[in-house]
Structure 1
Amino acid sequence: MTFGNFTAEVSKWKFKEVGTSIWLESKPGGCAEIYSDLLYNKKIQDPFLDMNEDQVQWVSKCQWEYETNIEIPRIDNKEKYKLIFEGLDTFATIYFNSEEILKTDNMFLKYSVFVQPKLTNTIRIVFGSALNISKMYEHRHGKLKCWNGDPSRVYIRKAQYQYGWDWGPKLISCGPYRPTYLISYQSHINDFYVHGDVHEDLSIVSGYIETDIETDTQVVISMEVRSPDSIETVLHLKKPVSGSGKFLQEFSILSPKLWYPRGYGSAALYHVTVRLISKTGNIICQVHKHIGFKRIQLIQHPFLEQSGTSFYLQINNIPIFCKGSNWIPAHSIPSSVSKTDYKQWLNSAVNANHNMIRVWGGGYYESDFFYNNCDRLGLLVWQDFMFACGQYPGNLKYFVESVSKEVAYQVQRLRNHCSISMYCGNNEDYQIAEAYNLQWDKKNHTGDYAKTSFPARTIYEKIIPELVAKYHVGIPYHPGSPWGGEKTSDPTVGDIHQWNVWHGTREKYQDWYKLGGRFVSEFGMEALPSYSTFMRCISEISEIYPQSLVVDFHNKAAGFESRLASYMFENIRLRTMDMKSWIYATQLMQAECLGYAIRSWRRNWKGKGKRYMGGILIWQLNDCWPVTSWSLVDNFKTPKLAFYAAKREYRAIAVGVQRQGNELQVWCVNDEGSKENITLSLDIYEVFSGQLIEHYEMYNITLEANSSSEILSNYELPSDGPMVANASIIHKDEVLANYGDWPQPLKYLQFCKRSIKLEVYDGYVVISTTMPIKGIELITENNLFFEDNGMDLFPNKEMTVSCPELKHTDTVTIRHYE
């Protein structure tokens, strides 16, 4: 895109501590943050390594100064010059050629200011200590309630996780963490927005293109819309204008190609270009975006046979079961996340059969590159506003004004991204209100709660929804997560965070089927990351053992020792406590836990009028540093076994087995169209010997479209001994879904010696066995990615597992449960 006559972007900063005289060179790239820059200059030890986090806390208590020069080719008095900061973290005073031009106090805003430049210009930014400033506000206004991190964090508009979380370090950063540039122009496109309403029968999309321009002369706004394949120009609209302002141009497209989430259709994106054309026909500037059109509804209808209401998305008239994970910031230092990192993380979500990502409210609003990739990949985005686990001061004028600007800016920035499917006011702030008995009168809908101890309700229930309704018409808004019903834990209305496994009452994960809700937007289980990850974050190999001080330091969850040990020793037998065995055991337990939940809950997607559950979001997809956490994929992008469990259970067609005493129930969930002439194959094996005890087949089954189907009920196991049931869904000799249900807990199972035949080829392996085997992990020394792992294997069911980078000369080792 071109903005005007020229754009000069900062590519390099220098920095120093305020009050000192020695300047240091910032890390190249134009986006800078203090921890990254100090590390680049070897002034601090890597805070991700060992226990170095404790040694760098002084950094957040200091003030830091950044400086750079921008050169421009010429000065033209007819042109305007604007200095733009895409992101400043957080309290900054900006000087341009020694003149103070701007002060900032919100990390989540874009700032711009007109300047009068020279050929060479100096930009200097002084960053105050966010920690000291938040403490000052706390001293002035009082200590507020929160979970995680220093409670003073709630007073400032900054990424809250930087204050420390139960999966992340305390690294309270500062700096120009997103691009800074100077532009010149006579006529300029600030932005454009394409709003399209899709007709109920999907036959037409009609709406308008709103273009925000600055100009002192007559220009023509040219709007070109090309088809998703770029072959056809669908629209070419022109609008002559004179002077600055926001201009609307209506449009309509017949038989549009709509945007669908993954698994339900193509993520079609139209190519839209807006240009300003001069009187002489020259292009002054142009902006290009990819735009998708969808019809979206949040369905909250009462049920005939159960209490409460549904909670699911319907897109282009199709009910969507949301399958995904929560997204936390991908790094504790935001500027350290590259475009390659974003692509790899989001591709991992796609690989795990996700169709939704929830951008969690304790981090930051992600870059346009992140949302562009969600658009392209067909990933729905549940977008939190940046409030998490706190009692925010919604009664303070400065805070409310800053939040209002932030929400207006972010909604206008995000609204062109068709992946945005829901806005949510906050994360767990209503739970804070419940936990600390804050004043929350559910019958009071005035929108004015400033005089209560829960004043942020005004933000969540008035300010944000009004701004969403104004700037992003038609997108569902949910006041908080969790929210709905008489309590935030009400499983019959809205969404819930189901933490009674791990936190809360610490239920057995085999009881997940009792613990569902209309939409579970958080749940999870901890597991250690890979051994290779510990090798990269712990310098002394003698410290890499299960109960080491440094290993424990890389786990920020309160009480994790007892909780992890409790679930481990309730479920998994440990024959040895060496580190690799401990890692495998925790990852197997996490995989079993998440698999149980997804399998049980998807069963409740029962079709029209009975969609008792509308979505599952695992806590969490990713990590921001090397840590033991609830993530599916660790900081170095190495998948845990739970990643593969989620991938299997999130498949479009999946089979489930529920064991009640000595009887089995079998069901299948199908996200696709109706499928007929399906066969259920059920093999029952004795666990210890591996002997096949019984084979059962059921024919001519129909899998209902976009719903679950009950297939078999009250199937009695042939004996009282430990039996494993392997259920397969087959259509025309193709296995559509497969699952092995083992007696629980696994720790009581006894096995005779198992053997696995392994054949290694370029790009794949083939494995087979003569006995049922639980939790097969394929391992290579160079940590290659297998398309499946941690799987169960059954006799006469050879399995081919893809591994694109594998060579037939590579050594592949196997670990399994025994």
Structure 2
Amino acid sequence: MLSIFDLNGKWKARGFGSRHINPHAYLGPDVDERLFNDAQVPGDIHLDLQEQGIVADPNIGLNALAQRWVEEQIWVYRRNFIVPDDAIGKHVWLVFEAIDLVADIYLNGERIGSHANVFRPCRIDVTGKLKDGDNTLSLHIDSGLYCVAEKPSNDYNISWDHKLHKRSWLRKPQCQFSWDWSPRLINVGIPGNVRLEWTDSARIDSVVMYPELSDDLKSATISVRAFVDCVADEPLGAIIRLRAPDADEVVVQGVELPVGLSRHDVSVTIPDPALWWPKPYGDQPLYEVQCELEIDGDVVDSATRRVGIRSVKINQSPHPVEGRYFIIEINGTPIFAKGGNWVPPDTIYSSIDADRYRKLVDLAVEANFNCLRIWGGGLYADPAFLDACDEAGVMVWHDFIFACSKYPGDDPEFLQNVRAEIEYQVKRLSPHPSLVVWCGNNELEWAAWDWGYDREHSHPDYALYHLEIPRIIAREDPSRPYWPSSPYSLDNINPTSPITGDQHPWHVSLGASGTDFWKYRTDVSRFPNEGGVLGASGLATLYQALPPEHRHVFSMAWEFHDNTCNFNSNPGICYRAMKDWLDLTADELTFEEYAFLSGLLQADGLREYIVNFRRRMFSSASAIFWMYNDTWPQSHGWTIVDYYLRRKLAYHPVRRAFAPISVIATVEEDKILIFGVNDTSEPWQGDVRFGLFEFSGGLQNDRTHSVILPANTSTQLAEIALEKLDLLGFENAGAFALLLKDGVTVSQDRLLMARFKDINWKASTVAVARRGDTIALNSSSYVWGVCLDPECDSPLSDDVFDLLPGIEYVMDWPADKPLPEVKRTGTDTLLDR
């Protein structure tokens, strides 16, 4: 039987800088531990220093700037322990699930190994090296900066600060070295569990499980690959037993275990399987599969995984207009992917617990997501995150952790390290049905085409993404597709081409379209995987992250917490948006007014992004924006959920834009078009109401008729000649559309053709009336951006919506809760200026 001795808990740690003596003198057993401070494992040294009051919370003010010294220290971690008697005479391993980053490992003063990859575990054979009684385990750890000090950098990156960190060489989250949305905060420590393992026979090293579904969906096979490490002096006879719910029988297979590591393939058949589906296409049943290793009648090791039965492929058949489709198909059904990009939800990632992962997935589901893209500069998925996605029906597109840089794939040591990492991660994550696509990297193919990364025609990592990784996936887990890069195109055309592959449509915000998010209306991207609009965080988060003396735009702390993409131009993109859309500057607004209006503009921009692609379903097969969640509190950010898990002003507009049954009003050449979108697997029947509305009050061309929205498609329901709106004046009127079921509004949309600064606004009075466990809001004139919680500190069921003249807006509201106050509207905020 495999036995385990936990080495987590309280360790000792000390940092050594240039003024200190050689840290190697402190690696042996005879050390005065009064020279060391307490350190928690798993953990990160920043967290220990915070606990001891040596550094402050890096999320507040300028505190992160004062912690640069931490990454520049050499850290010695120590722990004394007594070996259990049962381990003596057995085959024993010391296991670190993660070390960040470059570590030399010592046992009782003897160097027993080294490690330099936080993305894979470190396993060291310590058989015969443990003593009866006290043992001392020590690690000499640095953040990676010393390791790469003499490595070349010019051939691998063109970012101006790359020589200060050379992150391309370091296998740890790349965003630690700073990104536009994250500060530089390079983690150091032991973020994974630590343990001793021992046995005198064999253990299961790893288990790969994946489903194979018949074409008619009526039968499934769960394939299991058990990798077994036999430590006996000679081969052993063994039994591998599989147990699974609804299986025809318990599968028992006799095997011979050669000395060392060996692979054994077993499978179990599931007749009439319950299929796993993404939201809102069906349910998410999970099968618990147990793999047991039995020797001489005793179960010596076992592994249990939850598996969802589903098939997944990417449909890239020819498009009837030009190029190709790019559609994720689950169980043979095309799926429209709705969601955002996922980044590590904390700069110090060892602080992220299972509850935080689950809350973030729950908030994504509430926002009608069915897809999250794990961006390639952060972390591989945590089991708690994928468990939550499995249960919720949220698909995961998973980049391998390579982003916006060349990587030294021409260096044999680096390549060997990365091969082991990828093999480990592919095996580890194989059972999860939510993981539907593996992707080689973030934007490296695009970089080779457009960013100057083709300098001297050097592509040291090309073979890694196009040969090495796909070979590993084909060998270890062929159950899900692999895509070389994001964005990427087939047929040897530019990876940003909108007509094939996946896209990052950054022409808005970061490209030629600038602040004009209406340019999304004509974007025909087949599978948009990034693209977004910056907006200020909610006031509650700004108040929490910025000290009182810094609570104004352009303060030093505001700038430090700002997204650096806001510095790509002068004035920054967010300040340009304020001028372009509202004809206002930050200096003309109070801090509270600026945050509110910036948040409203982000909400409008993300809505335009989403509804454009949804109405093109499946010519476009996704609306995945940048980005969903934050790593730390930002002044301006791309996200809809901030670092403190507060819903930003854009959250509810995005949630409504992603609703399974939606109406969309848009413009195409000389026509206003009304679309109905149905993401569900059943037809929807109701009424569509549409027409024109005057901002000062009143409806024109108001019509209603019955409609049926076929399952899983977008349908054009109506059209209006654009000239009818032009006759009223774009500055005086817009178009509207509603879907109704039994007279109740299910979805609402509006189309504006004049920017907010050009609209002839009328002062509004919003009436709020109770209707049982709902409230109805009404206004005689058009109101932009009705907001009940501009601080973004209350988890309301709805907020930040427009009122059409004379049309009630109904939302859930507890009957025992006082009627809410409309605290701000975009209309009144503009009129007040």
TM-score, normalising length: structure 2: 0.89
Structure 1 position 270, deviation (Å): 0.3
Which residue is equivalent to 1:495?
502
3-state SS in 1 of match to 2:85 = coil
Aligned residues: 788
CA distance in 1, matches of 2:451, 2:560: 29
Does the 8 Å contact 1:760/1:808 carry over to 2? Answer: no
CA contact (8 A) 1:763 1:803 kept: yes
SS of structure 2 residue aligned to 1:342:
helix
Residue 564 of structure 2: aligned partner: 557
Which residue type is aligned with residue 455 of structure 1?
P
Asked if residue 814 in structure 1 is aligned to residue 812 in structure 2, the reply is no
Q: 2:702 matched to which residue of 1?
A: 695
| Residue matched to 1:625 | 632
Structure 1 equivalent of residue 116 of structure 2: 105
Partner of 1:355: 370
Alignment of 1:440-451 (within 5 A): none
- Find the partner of 2:176 among 157, 162, 166: 162
Matched with 1:12 is 10
Secondary structure class of the residue paired with 1:131: coil
Q: 1:355-386 CA distances to partner (integer Å, 9 max, x unpaired)?
A: 11111111121222211211111111111011
Deviations 1:584-643 (A, max 9, x none): 1111101101101111111211xxxxx321112110011111112111111111111222
2:762–2:781 contact (8 Å) kept in structure 1: no
Match of 1:772 in 2: 782
Select which of 421, 428, 446 maps to 1:406. Answer: 421
Please state if 1:225 is matched with 2:230: no
Residues 161-211 of structure 1, C-alpha deviations (whole Å, 9 max, x = no match)? 111111100011211112111222334322322232101110111253222
**Pairing partner for 2:283 from 259, 262, 266:** 266
Pairing 1:586–2:571 present: no
Residue range with higher mean Cα deviation, 263-272 or 61-70: 61-70
2:125 matches 1:114? yes
Segment of structure 1 superposing worse, 356-365 or 701-710? 701-710
Aligned equivalents of 2:600 and 2:144: distance in 1? 41
Offset from partner CA, 1:449-506 (integer Å, 9 cap, x none): xx95112101111111111111111311111111115112211111111111111213
Residue 758 in structure 1 maps to residue 737 in structure 2: no
Q: Is the 8 A contact 1:786 1:801 kept in 2?
A: no
Structure 1 counterpart of 2:534: 526
1:578 CA drift (Å) = 0.8
**CA deviation string 1:758-812 (max 9, x = no partner):** 35899865533343322111128792211221111235544443468x9725975
* Structure 2 counterpart of 1:613, from 617, 620, 626: 620
- Aligned equivalent of 2:167: 153
Q: Is the 8 A contact 2:535 2:599 kept in 1?
A: yes
Match of 2:653 in 1: 645
Judged with a 3 Å threshold, the aligned counterparts in structure 2 of structure 1 residues 759 and 133 are, in CA distance, closer, same or farther, namely farther
Q: Matched residues in 1 for 2:355 and 2:772: separation?
A: 26
- Which of 162, 169, 187 aligns to 1:173? It is 187
Q: Give the whole-Å Cα distance in 2 for the aligned partners of 1:811 and 1:651.
A: 24
Name the CA distance, whole Å, in 1 between partners of 2:140 and 2:481: 40
Indicate the residue corresponding to 2:469 in structure 1: 464
Alignment partner, residue 445 of structure 1: none
Displacement of 1:536 in angstroms is 1.5
Kindly report which structure 2 residues correspond to 1:232-271, keeping only aligned pairs within 5 A, or say none. 235-243=249-257, 245-271=262-288
Q: Distance in 1 between matches of 2:4 and 2:495?
A: 52
Cα 1:341–1:273 shift into 2, 3 Å: same
Structure 1 position 95 matched with structure 2 position 112: no
Give 1:436 shift.
4.5
Partner letter of residue 92 of structure 1? Answer: A
Q: Is the 8 A contact 2:13 2:39 kept in 1?
A: no
Give the corresponding residue for 1:123. 137
Aligned residue identity for 2:528: V
Deviation at 1:431, TM superposition (A): 2.2
**Bigger shift: residues 163-172 or 767-776:** 767-776
Cα distance change on mapping 1:133 and 1:760 into 2, 3 Å: farther
Query: Who is 1:713 aligned against?
Result: 719
- Where in structure 2 are the equivalents of 1:215-614 lying within 5 Å? 215=230, 216=232, 217-227=236-246, 235-243=249-257, 245-280=262-297, 282-304=298-320, 306-439=321-454, 452-484=457-489, 485-507=492-514, 508-539=516-547, 541-558=548-565, 559=567, 561-572=571-582, 574=584, 577-605=589-617, 611-614=618-621
* 8 Å CA contact 1:325, 1:617 repeated in 2: yes
1:27–1:798: structure 2 CA closer, same or farther, 3 Å change rule? farther
Kindly state the Cα deviation for residue 397 of structure 1 after the two structures are TM-superposed.
1.3
Between stretches 505-514 and 423-432, larger displacement belongs to 505-514
Relative to 1, partners in 2 of residues 1:710 and 1:256: Cα closer, same or farther, differing over 3 Å? same
Distance 1:803 1:105, change over 3 A: farther
- Could you tell me which amino acid in structure 2 is paired with residue 346 of structure 1? V
Query: Greater CA deviation, 732-741 or 486-495?
Result: 732-741
Shift of 1:675: 3.0
**Structure 1 counterpart of 2:29:** none
Q: 1:94 to 1:614 in 2, by over 3 A?
A: same
Q: Give the AA of the match of 1:17.
A: G
CA contact (8 A) 2:538 2:792 kept: no
Amino acid at match of 1:259: W
The residue matched to 1:496 in structure 2 has which SS?
coil
Quote how far apart the aligned CAs of 1:750 are. Answer: 2.7
Shift of the alpha carbon at 1:343?
0.8
The amino acid across from 1:654 in the alignment is: S
Q: 1:189 aligns with which of 204, 220, 225?
A: 204
Amino acid at match of 1:551: W
Given that 2:766 and 2:822 are in contact with CA atoms closer than 8 Å, whether structure 1 keeps it comes out as no
CA distance in 1 between counterparts of 2:87 and 2:96 reads 22
CA–CA distance in 2 between the matches of 1:812 and 1:234? 60
Distance in 1 of aligned mates of 2:792 and 2:637: 23
- Aligned-partner residue type, residue 736 of structure 1: V
CA shift, 1:346, in A, is 1.0
What amino acid does structure 1 have at the position aligned with 2:375?
Answer: W
The unaligned stretches of length 5 or more in structure 1 are 228-232, 441-450, 606-610
Q: Is the 8 A contact 1:632 1:639 kept in 2?
A: yes
SS at match of 2:207: strand
- Cα gap change, 1:744 to 1:137, in 2 (>3 Å): same
Looking at structure 2, the residues matched to 698 and 129 of structure 1 have their Cα atoms a distance apart, in angstroms, of 65
Contact persistence 1:26–1:32 (CA under 8 A): no
The separation in 1 between residues aligned to 2:179 and 2:89, in whole angstroms, is 51
1:679-726 residue CA offsets vs partner (Å, 9 max, x unmatched):
211243210x22234421233x33232111111123453642321333
Q: How many Å separate the matches in 2 of 1:407 and 1:385?
A: 8
TM-score (norm 1): 0.91
Residues 226 and 573 from structure 1, CA distance in 2 versus in 1: closer, same or farther, beyond 3 angstroms? farther
Paired residues of 1:10 and 1:68 also in contact (CA < 8 A): no
Deviation string 1:192-232 (CA, Å, 9 cap, x unpaired) is 222321011101112532222345454433221025xxxxx
Structure 2: 5+ residue runs without aligned partners? 22-31, 828-833
Deviations 1:91-137 (A, max 9, x none): 01111222211111112111111224344432211112412322321
More moved, 124-133 vs 595-604: 124-133
Give the drift of 1:76. 4.2
Shift of 1:674: 5.4
SS of corresponding position for 1:751: coil
Selected match of 2:225 from 210, 220, 235: 210
1:667 alignment partner, one of 662, 675, 678: 675
CA 513–471 in structure 1, closer or farther in 2 if over 3 Å, else same: same
Instruction: Give the C-alpha shift of residue 662 in structure 1.
Output: 7.5
Following TM superposition, by how much is the alpha carbon of 1:145 offset from its aligned partner in structure 2, in angstroms? 2.4
